């Protein structure tokens, strides 16, 4: 927990139990949860935390570069503690979001900058499809 407190302080954020809990959950999750998922998971151990607190905290974390927000569909934001840009794949049936470790996409910003002469500010690469679990369930 002291490590998380130091990370928050290094970004100029006030350290609160709620912020520590939210960041800890994101750091230890591969699920790319949305705000409601975070709230429901933390509510039993943080009964005074509100959903509004979760949203505000996620906005603070995003603005300081601690996390990235993934816009997986209209009005469907998910959050990732791996703040550097990397590709994702989203299941269109169950909604799960997965990191996509593809070597060829890691330097895409530099390549696009070179091709277009744009000064790029950010990028999100998200692929959509049906995950193996959902495929298996529909074939049963």
The 3-class SS string of the chain reads: CHHHHHHHHHCCCCCCHHHHHHHHHHHCCCCCCCHHHHHHHHCCCCCCCCHHHHHHHHHHHHHCCCCEEEEEECCEEEEECCCCCCCEEEECCCCCEEECCCHHHCCHHHHHHHHHCCCCCCCCCEEEECCHHHHHHHHC
pLDDT digits (tens, 9 = 90+) for 35-83: 999 999 999 999 999 999 999 999 999 999 999 999 888 778 999 999 8
pLDDT digits (tens, 9 = 90+) for 75-132: 789 999 998 888 899 999 999 999 988 777 767 888 888 999 999 888 888 999 999 9
Please give the pLDDT value at position 106. Answer: 65
Token code pair at residue 35: 């705000």
Helix axes 17-27, 35-42, angle to 10 degrees: 110
β-pairing, 126-129 vs 97-99, is unpaired
pTM of the full predicted structure?
A: 0.84
Distance CA 71, CA 68 (A): 10
């Amino acid at each position: 927990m002291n490590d998380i407190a130091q990370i928050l302080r290094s970004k100029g954020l006030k350290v609160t139990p709620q912020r520590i809990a939210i960041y800890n959950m994101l750091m230890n999750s591969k699920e790319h949860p949305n705000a409601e998922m975070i709230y429901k998971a933390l509510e039993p151990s943080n009964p005074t935390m509100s959903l509004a607190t979760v949203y505000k905290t996620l906005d603070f974390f995003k603005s300081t570069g601690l996390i990235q927000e993934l816009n997986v569909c209209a009005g469907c934001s998910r959050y990732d503690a791996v703040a550097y840009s990397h590709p994702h794949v989203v299941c269109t049936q169950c909604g799960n979001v997965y990191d996509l470790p593809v070597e060829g996409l890691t330097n895409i910003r530099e390549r696009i900058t070179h091709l277009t002469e744009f000064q790029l500010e950010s990028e999100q690469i998200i692929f959509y499809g049906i995950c193996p679990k959902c495929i298996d369930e529909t074939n049963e």
